[in-house]
Amino acid sequence: MSIYDLRSQKPSFTISQQEVNSARIKGVAFFGDYLYIVNDSDKGTTYSVTTMSDRKQVATSWSSRPVLQVSGWTMIGDAASCGRSGQPECTRTMVRNVNGAFPGPWY
């Protein structure tokens, strides 16, 4: 699995198929330097956040995550309604950017 920076046309984050299989990755999303990972484990579905730049896990779950930036705003999705409870729709909230950047929370 690779995530490419379209400007540089180089991978920003890469893990091997073996790593994907052993981690039992079910889904991923990214925003900024953060990779939001959904794993299927023996204990059920788990959610973690990893930095793409140095591959360090910074959280073992998230309550919300940024989804999209639009005209000085960032749309965030609420984790409780985004797939976890079986709902097809997610609750979305718009957060005004500060100095052109999403102010957080990141997870």
pLDDT tens digits, one per residue of 40-84: 877 788 888 999 889 899 999 888 889 899 999 999 988 766 655
Q: What CA–CA distance (Å, rounded) separates 52 from 14?
A: 9
Q: Using the structure block, give the residue that is written with the tokens 């005209």.
A: 71
The 3-state DSSP class for residue 38 equals strand
Question: Would you give the DSSP letter of residue 69?
Answer: E
Q: Which amino acid is at 107?
A: Y
CA quadruple 85, 79, 32, 93: dihedral sign: positive
The whole-model pTM stands at: 0.78
